[in-house]
């Protein structure tokens, strides 16, 4: 049986990595075997990095449904009747043959009861510093943001600011925003009036959750209708540091990876490789490394 291809073959950097290393060897890189092993190890850490994604928000916002839609498998139980996630569900999402995976933390939704919200506050404070990115999910037809706003501004924002953790606000179930009968069932997109109201809802979320001068990143989606997920992935990829972009995109369903996200992921990954090459080799052969890196970016990097 032939070996399986990576989940996203067009994102897989293994061939380019091998070409870069061969290029260095062809130019008689004056590096020791130990330095070459170190370089390979560092690059391997980049390709196998396992991001940790936290999914937050009020109960009933569709957090589990969103995760299932993004990653292509039933990761957590979904219920329309009662809250399902009362303790953090930390799941290793492993969709690539090499088994690197992504750790998804589906945390309890706030707003179930005052007693549970007190418990969840301590839980949030302990979980947040460990995350690479936060998705804060808001139900599209929800008009009451006071609980979300309080938890975000009082608990979440101070921590993500201290640890420089990116956050994306996801307005889910936008197909339920009025006039919901306008939703185009065949094309899976909103009608004209509904699109205007969705835009207004996103603007409200930006205004309500604004802290300081910077507006928060907000995107409207419908997990059930497979709407807006490409834009969401674009925003997450853009928000992540270079060395973590590939690890996230590697585990997302391929149909949600746009050309824009693909280029962003590749550019970020090779920027991280460039930094690694500088750290490992630059002291022994500055000119040679610079020539190799210029060749790498000219031959491989899109844009």
**Residue with more model confidence, 68 or 189:** 189
CATH superfamily, region 52-239: P-loop containing nucleotide triphosphate hydrolases (3.40.50.300)
pLDDT per position as a tens digit, 105-137: 877 666 555 666 677 777 878 889 999 999 999
Under a CB-based contact definition with an 8 Å cutoff, are residues 278 and 207 in contact?
Answer: no
Percentage of residues in the chain with pLDDT exceeding 70? 76
Closest CA relative to residue 303, chosen from 259, 272, 273: 259
What's the pLDDT tens digit per position in 53-85?
998 887 778 888 898 899 876 554 433 333 344
Higher pLDDT, 225 or 5: 225
Extents of the domains making up the chain: 14-47+261-300, 52-239
Alpha-carbon span 25 to 288, nearest angstrom = 11
Say if residue 214 is preceded by a cis peptide, omega within 30 of 0. no
pTM, two decimal places: 0.85
């Amino acid at each position: 049986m032939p070996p399986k291809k990576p989940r996203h073959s067009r994102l897989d950097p293994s061939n380019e990595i091998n070409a870069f290393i061969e290029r260095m060897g062809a130019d008689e890189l004056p590096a020791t075997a130990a330095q070459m092993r170190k370089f390979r190890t560092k690059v391997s850490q980049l390709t196998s990095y396992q991001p940790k994604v936290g999914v937050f928000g009020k109960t009933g916002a569709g957090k589990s449904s969103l995760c299932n839609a993004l990653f292509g498998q039933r990761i957590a139980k979904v219920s329309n009747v009662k809250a399902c996630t009362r303790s953090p569900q930390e799941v290793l999402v492993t969709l690539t043959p090499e088994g690197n995976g992504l750790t998804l933390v589906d945390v309890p939704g706030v707003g179930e009861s005052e007693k549970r919200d007190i418990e969840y506050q301590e839980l949030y404070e302990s979980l947040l510093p460990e995350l690479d990115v936060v998705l804060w999910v808001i139900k599209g037809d929800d008009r009451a943001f006071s609980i979300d706003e309080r938890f975000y501004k009082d608990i979440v924002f101070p921590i993500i600011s201290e640890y420089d953790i990116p956050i994306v606000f996801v307005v889910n179930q936008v197909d339920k925003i009025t006039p919901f009968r306008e939703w185009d069932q065949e094309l899976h997109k909103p009608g004209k009036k509904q699109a205007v109201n969705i835009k207004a809802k996103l603007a409200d979320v930006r205004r309500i959750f604004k802290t300081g001068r910077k507006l928060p990143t907000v995107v409207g989606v419908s997990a059930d209708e497979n709407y807006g997920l490409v834009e969401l992935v674009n925003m997450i990829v853009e928000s992540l540091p270079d060395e973590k972009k590939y690890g996230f995109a590697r585990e997302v369903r391929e149909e949600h990876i746009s050309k824009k996200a693909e280029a962003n992921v590749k550019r970020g990954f090779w920027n991280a490789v460039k930094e690694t090459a500088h750290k490992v080799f630059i002291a022994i052969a500055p000119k040679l490394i610079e020539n190799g890196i210029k060749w790498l970016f000219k031959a491989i990097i899109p844009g």
